[in-house]
Structure 1
Amino acid sequence: MRVKFTVNGEERTADDVWEGESLLYVLRERLGLPGAKNACEQGECGSCTVYLDDTPVCACLVAAGQVQDREVRTVEGLGSEGELDPVQRAFIERGAVQCGFCTPGLIVAAHDLIRRNPCPKDAEIREALAGNLCRCTGYEKIIDAVHTAAAHSRGEATS
């Protein structure tokens, strides 16, 4: 089947898509967008989190046919014209990136949180990121990065 949808603001088409093929596979293998990572394939780790019509979803659980005529935004589509999104920038600044495997999903989840709550508390950050597993950082640097990103998004300077 042919699937036509918008990815990061651009109309895209994937041909010869198998009915059971995941959105994650289409993004990575057919469209060359490797940001969302393939880890558990069961929606448990959050590494493949993307926006589907402005709602975060695990791309491994979405059948490719479900995105027909819909909008998908990946971690690659968060920034603008050569500029990183404040969340992406904060993850780098705060050292919240270790092996990088969980990072795209964490960034999308943090981006969604800050979009909904521009001044999140630690408990709110932990809740928002609960569906994302990281085995390297211990989460403290990730939480620091989310606070920094929220401050950047509010136009505040950080130290």
Structure 2
Amino acid sequence: MSRTMAEAQLPKRVDAVKLVDNNQQLNADIDSKNLTRLLDAVVHCNEPVHCEIQFERDQDKNRLLTGSCNTNVVMICQRCLGEVSLPVTSRFQLGLVFDDDQARQLPKRLEPVELDENGQLDLWVVMEDEVLLALPAFPMHTNGECQLEQTEPEPDYTDSDEKRPNPFDVLAKLKQK
């Protein structure tokens, strides 16, 4: 039986083992002001990070953290160098483990996340990691929306009638002397 816990604010630390055992769902936000690594990676993020997560076990009894998180960020457009507002969404399925041995035994489809010795998990760090991984490497406005007026490049051509001086003519004259 699945239960839902709806809170305005996602708890920072949780007992992940207990949440997995209860097949717990969390639907909540993280105030983006608390995510300093995210704030360092973008111009600004004034919206909360909305998280919908499920603690569960798969058919092989692996502890899983499955779900999605999303927000909107402002980054620098790599085309016009102006600010661009971008939606960021991450969908994930993570394997919850206690040590490297358990991490190695996870199926390849699962990225391991290590719990502390008491089964505690810092949810804010995990969700911040997911948002950071979902940021575009080259943020850009959609075509036609850049602030920079793009002019057509001038054609690179030479007039065949125009005789250009050969820079090696000087060397040829020196060689004749």
- Class of the TM-score when normalised by the shorter of the 2 chains: under 0.3
Between Structure 1 and Structure 2, which shows a larger proportion of strand residues?
2
Q: Relative contact order: is structure 1 or structure 2 higher (C-alpha 8 Å, sep ≥ 6)?
A: 1
TM-score, normalised to structure 2's length? 0.22
Between Structure 1 and Structure 2, which shows a larger proportion of helix residues?
1
TM-score, normalised to structure 1's length? 0.24
